[in-house]
Every structure is written in structure tokens, then in C-alpha cells.
Amino acid sequence: MSDARGRERDGYADLSARYAAVIEATVDAIVIIDQHGVIETFNPAAERIFGYRAEEVVGRNVSCLMPQAEAARHDGYIAHYLATGEAHIIGIGREVVGRRRSGEEFPLELAVGELDHLEPRRFVGTLRDISARRALETALAARERELSMLLDHAPIGIFSAAMSGRFIRVNPALCAMVGYRPAQLGQLAVSDLTFEADRDRLREAYLAVCEGQHEECRCDLRWVRADGMVVHVSLHAVSVAGEPDVIIGQVVDRSEQVRSERESREAGERLAHVGRVTTLGEMASAIAHEINQPLTAISAYAQACRRLLAQPAPDLELVGETLESIGGQALRAGDVVRRIRGFVSNRDSARAACDLNAVVQAALEFADFDLRSHQVEAKTAFADDLPQVMVDPIQIQQVCLNLVRNAIDAMDALPVAERRLLLRTLATDEGVVLRCIDSGPGVDPEIRDRLFQPFQTTKAEGMGMGLSISASIVAAHGGSLSYADDQQEGACFVMKLPAALD
């Protein structure tokens, strides 16, 4: 009997030792109190959290670990529970405030359980210091407030969207841009705002980001506001690291920029038209000659027909040939008029893929009478298989004609045998090049830097707008017009244009 009791005592002692070892080793603070709130157990984790040694608090009321306001109510909670069974915190995890030995108050996560199989009854509190977590939450909340302030005051539209394109979060600038409230945008996708003709471009760019082909996409789009007005926007969307289902977008309203670009383009076109009309006025005598030649021939052929028909036995075959000649000369005159009308017409710029050689040749034909009347020998050296250029052919013809007429004027004082003009085209990696080379005296080095400025001229007559307008036209086509100083004699103007995209 005594042996059995001894084994029972030994087993109980062993169990108690294990129980104590678990309490000692656990990383969470464990505090055991009796039904009067007196601390019986205070493990090492509790010592680290509260700053007390166990012997300093064992035997004291647990309220020493609480702020004063909470300590005054704690014993009442226990008494109420023991009398009624209504738990305030027992069996319920919650966050409370603890007080360290230093007096510092800090947040705790507390879970309380009851050891109701013991007499007297005891309560076990498991505590975890959540100061670091709370500090992190506070920092995150502060960052969220800062982010919200940045979004609310950002001058550009900012949004987050799901992979489907549906808006998740939008800032006030975006709402103002499109005329929708945040709740309304939350029911829409980016494509719902996009002008129908632009949706394929948006879809292609957006899918490239969603499918991981690119980290970001940029595209210019037209969006339709809530009131039906169209707004031009530039969209920049990026995927978010760690958030595979979210896209962040920035939207800039380009409407004013588009309007300014359109007005600038229209002003350039009006200026180019003025330049063509001015050129036509300067070429009035040449144009009159070009038209007068076929008209004179028509008159002569008509007189011949009258004489033939006045004969007793008119040669009708010869009359027919003469009438055919009249028709040919009329077509020639009509062709001159059509070229003039096309050259000076005030119409919207119409760009198309063109052969630069053909455009240069058309300009030479327009200047043919000037070349012949000034006895200038004009030659061409056109490169074969030039890539096409995306240009307005009339405007580029205007530039070429201006270069040719400037060359004619520059060589006017030379002996006839020395008046030579060469128009050479060649292909480069960037596109195509036209070199207009004359045998004149060249350009004074002192004015080369000002050649393309308005009202800069070396002629006794003229406003000095031709090269300035020409340079603006070429620049509007993405190219450049410059003076090359690599010629030993004469002048060389170089026009560069980008090749048309395939």
C-alpha cells in the first residue's frame, strides 16, 4: 500500500515538474492568480514583459500589472464572476493595457482561462506584448493617411484597377477629369471610359502588362466624360510587385496640349500656304509664259484650220490633225492650271507614303521655265529603291521648289556655262536625304547660323521667309533642313526625312 502511495506521489511530482517546465519555457507570459486576484505563478516570459522578478510580484494582487484606472475595477470583475458566472474577460481574448515595473503602459493581448477543477479556484492569464505590432499598425495607418493626402491633392488622375480593368480606387483629380463620382467609377472599367476607336490599342497595351509581357504600358487615348465630352489623356499603367491582381495607373489630361498642337499645326499650314502663294507671285512671269505657250499654239492652229476650211477643197485629214494639236495644247494648258491650283490650294495637310524622287521631280517640273530662262543646267542623281516617306507631297514639293529657286537666284551673276544645279537623293539608316547643291558663291559664314530665322535674306528683294517656312515644314514632318559646309564651292542644303513605318 505504501509503495502504491509512493508511486502516486512520485507521479504527481513528475507531472508537476513537467507542468512547471512548460510554464517556464513558453514564450508567452503566463500569470496564474487565485480567486482573490493574488499572483501565484509568474513565468520568465512575464518577467521579461513586465520587468519584475517573480519574487517581486508573487503574493501581490495582479492589479499591480495594470494601469490605475483598470486596477481599481479588476477585483470587482472577479467577485462579480464568482457570484453570477457572468464573464467579463474570462474565456474571451481581448486587447488590454498593461503597466511595466517602470510605470510605462503598453498594449497587451490577453486570454484568460479558469482552472475550475482546483480548490480554491484559480485563473490563468496568457499575455503577449503587442507593442511592436501596434507600432507597426500605427506607422501603416500614418502611411495610409499620407498616401491618401498625396492621392487627394495629386494634380493628375491616379487609380488602382483589377486585371479586368475595373476601377478599385480613384483620386479626386481623376473624378474631376471624367465627371464621375468615386462610387460610379467603381462600377466601371478603364475600357468603359475609352473612346470606341481607341479600345483595341488600350486592350493590347493593358494585356501586355496583365500577362507579364511588360512591367508597364503607356498609351495616348481619348476618354469620354460623363457629360459626353471627349478628353485626350495619356495613360501610364504598371503592375504592382506582390499584388499580381492589381494595376496602378496614372492619367494626365492632354486636351490642352492636343488643342495647342492642333492650333500650331494649323498655323504652320496657313504659313506654308502663304509661302506657296508668295512663291507663285514671284513666279508670275514664268507661269504666264507656261500658260501663254499653249494658248499661242492654240490660236495659231485655229487660224490654220480656218484657212484650210476656207479652201474650195479643204484637206479634212489635215484639219483633223490640226484639231488634235489644238486639243493637245489645251490639255497642256489645263495641266499647268491644275498644278498651280494644287500647289496654292489652302487645304488640310494630307500625308501619304510618297517616293521622294517623284516629289523632287515634280518640283523641278514646276521650276522648269525659271531654270530654262536663267539657263541653269539642272541634273538629278536619284538613288534607286529609296524607302518611302510619310509626308504631305505638296508641302515637301514647296520646300524643294524654294531650294531650287534660291539656287537659281544665287547663280544669276555667274557665267552661263558655270550655272549648275544637282539634286541628289540617298538612303540612310534613319530615312532619306536630299542634297541640293549649286555652283554659286555659297553662303557667307557670318549669316549661316541665321539662315533659317525669319526675315533673314541675302536677296535685294524678298522677305526672307522662304527658308524659315521650309525648315518649319520639314520639322513638322519629323525631319530637318540644314546648310552643309562640306562643299569646297557653291552651297549645299540638306533635307532629312524619316522613312515611313511599314
Owner of C-alpha cell 515595473: 101
Q: What is the pLDDT of residue 4?
A: 53
* Percentage, residues of the chain above pLDDT 90: 25
**What secondary structure does DSSP assign to 200-253, as a single string?**
HHHHHHHHHHHTTS-SEEEEEEEEE-TTS-EEEEEEEEEEETTEEEEEEEEEEE
* Average pLDDT of the residues of the chain: 80
- Please determine, for residue 335, whether its predicted confidence score (pLDDT) is greater than 80: no
H-helix or E-strand containing 80?
helix 68-84
Q: Looking at the structure, tell me whether residues 358 and 502 fall in a common domain.
A: yes
- Please determine, for residue 286, whether its predicted confidence score (pLDDT) is greater than 60: no
Q: Looking at the structure, tell me whether residues 17 and 126 fall in a common domain.
A: yes
Length of the chain equals: 502
Q: What is the pLDDT of residue 42?
A: 93
| DSSP β-ladder status, 94-99 and 167-170 | unpaired
Q: What is the pLDDT of residue 46?
A: 92
Looking at the domain assignment, is residue 204 inside a domain?
A: yes
Domain, as residue range, for 178: 154-253
Choose one of 328, 348, 368: the last residue of a domain: 348
Looking at the domain assignment, is residue 76 inside a domain?
A: yes
**CATH number, residue 428:** 3.30.565.10
How many C-beta atoms surround the C-beta of residue 211 within 10 A?
10
Largest separation between any pair of C-alpha atoms in the chain: 170
Environment class of 17 (CB within 10 Å of its CB; exposed 0-12, middle 13-18, buried 19+): exposed
Q: Looking at the structure, tell me whether residues 388 and 367 fall in a common domain.
A: yes
* List of residues 6+ apart from 429 with CB closer than 8 A: none
Q: Looking at the structure, tell me whether residues 383 and 500 fall in a common domain.
A: yes
Looking at the domain assignment, is residue 59 inside a domain?
A: yes
Which of the listed ranges 199-208, 230-239, 466-475 does the model predict with the highest average pLDDT? Answer: 230-239
Q: What is the pLDDT of residue 463?
A: 42
In this prediction, residues 248-263 reach a mean pLDDT of 86
Q: Looking at the structure, tell me whether residues 334 and 479 fall in a common domain.
A: no
Q: List, for residues 143-193, the tens digit of each pLDDT value.
A: 888 877 877 888 889 998 888 889 999 999 999 999 999 999 999 999 899
Looking at the domain assignment, is residue 325 inside a domain?
A: yes
The answer to which of 104-118, 313-327, 459-473, 475-489 has the lowest mean pLDDT is 459-473
Q: Looking at the structure, tell me whether residues 119 and 244 fall in a common domain.
A: no
Owner of C-alpha cell 502516486: 8
Q: Looking at the structure, tell me whether residues 244 and 159 fall in a common domain.
A: yes
Q: Looking at the structure, tell me whether residues 303 and 414 fall in a common domain.
A: no
Looking at the domain assignment, is residue 224 inside a domain?
A: yes
- Please determine, for residue 16, whether its predicted confidence score (pLDDT) is greater than 80: no
Is the overall model pTM greater than 0.85, yes or no? no
What's the number of domains the chain is made of? 4
Choose one of 200, 225, 253: the last residue of a domain: 253
Looking at the domain assignment, is residue 502 inside a domain?
A: yes
- Please determine, for residue 110, whether its predicted confidence score (pLDDT) is greater than 50: yes
Cβ proximity of 468 and 454 under 8 Å: yes
Written in H, E and C, the secondary structure of 403-469 is: HHHHHHHHCCCCCHHHCEEEEEEEECCCEEEEEEEECCCCCCHHHHHHCCCCCCCCCCCCCCCHHHH
Choose one of 315, 348, 381: the last residue of a domain: 348
Q: Looking at the structure, tell me whether residues 377 and 485 fall in a common domain.
A: yes
Q: Looking at the structure, tell me whether residues 228 and 307 fall in a common domain.
A: no
**Three-class SS of residue 154?**
coil
Looking at the domain assignment, is residue 144 inside a domain?
A: no
Q: Looking at the structure, tell me whether residues 452 and 476 fall in a common domain.
A: yes
Q: What is the pLDDT of residue 37?
A: 86
Q: How confident is the model at residue 11 (pLDDT cuts 50, 70, 90)?
A: low
Residue with the bigger pLDDT between 497 and 239: it is 497
In this prediction, residues 212-217 reach a mean pLDDT of 71
Q: Which three cell numbers stand for residue 269?
A: 499650314
Q: What is the pLDDT of residue 51?
A: 93
* List of residues 6+ apart from 212 with CB closer than 8 A: 239
Looking at the domain assignment, is residue 277 inside a domain?
A: yes
Q: Which three cell numbers stand for residue 123?
A: 485563473
DSSP state of 120: S
* Buried-state track 491-502, b at ≥16 Cβ within 10 A, e below 16: bbbbbbbbbbee
**CATH number, residue 13:** 3.30.450.20
Q: Looking at the structure, tell me whether residues 490 and 358 fall in a common domain.
A: yes
Which residues are 360's β-sheet partners? none
Residue with the bigger pLDDT between 275 and 412: it is 412
Which residues are 127's β-sheet partners? 29, 110
